[in-house]
Amino acid sequence: QSVLTQPPSVSAAPGQKVTISCSGSSSNIGNNYVSWYQQLPGTAPKLLIYDNNERPSGIPDRFSGSKSGTSATLGITGLQTGDEADYYCGTWDSSLNILVFGGGTKLTVL
């Protein structure tokens, strides 16, 4: 069982918006910064969001991140079929002294 909880799957139609939640606790999300990764089938994860809401160079502004209390959210607007992937949240856990990842959410673009 993951320290960070994500919904197993979400789905939406092309062009629509979707949000993916990541729920944690005060020892991780509540007091640390969250990052988000996109993992396309058979490939390595790719950094989408760091420091809660910052995008690396080259990541389109269709992707956004936010944090409130012990939860974080990844938002994706203007969904494309190429966005179908697994999405993971990650952060440091100060009690366990490890970097932890969520269980992952599979996005289906219908």
Partner 1 sequence: QVQLQESGPGLVKPSETLSLTCTVSGGSISDYYWSWIRQPPGTRLEWIGYSYYSGSTNYNPSLKSRVSISVDTSKSQFSLRLSSVNAADTAVYYCARRCSACLHDAFDIWGQGTMVTVSS
Positions that interact with partner 1 (CB under 8 A): 2, 32-33, 35, 37, 43-47, 50-51, 54, 56, 88, 90-92, 96-104
Q: Which is nearer to partner 1, 36 or 79 (CB)?
A: 36
Residue whose C-alpha is closest to residue 3's, from 28, 39, 21, 20: 28
Compute the distance between CA of residue 91 and CA of residue 24 in angstroms, rounded to an integer.
Answer: 9
CA distance linking residue 97 with residue 21, whole number of Å: 23
Rounded least distance, CB 34 to partner 1, Å: 9
Contact 18, 10 (CB under 8 A): yes
Helix (H), strand (E) at residue 105: strand 105-109
Q: Tell me how far, at minimum, the Cβ of 91 lies from partner 1, in Å.
A: 8
The contacts of residue 54 (CB under 8 Å, 6+ apart) are: 65
- CB-wise, 62 or 86, nearer to partner 1? 86
- Closest CB 36 distance from partner 1, rounded Å: 9
Of 24 and 102, which has the nearer Cβ to partner 1? Answer: 102
- State in angstroms the smallest separation of the CB of 103 from partner 1: 5
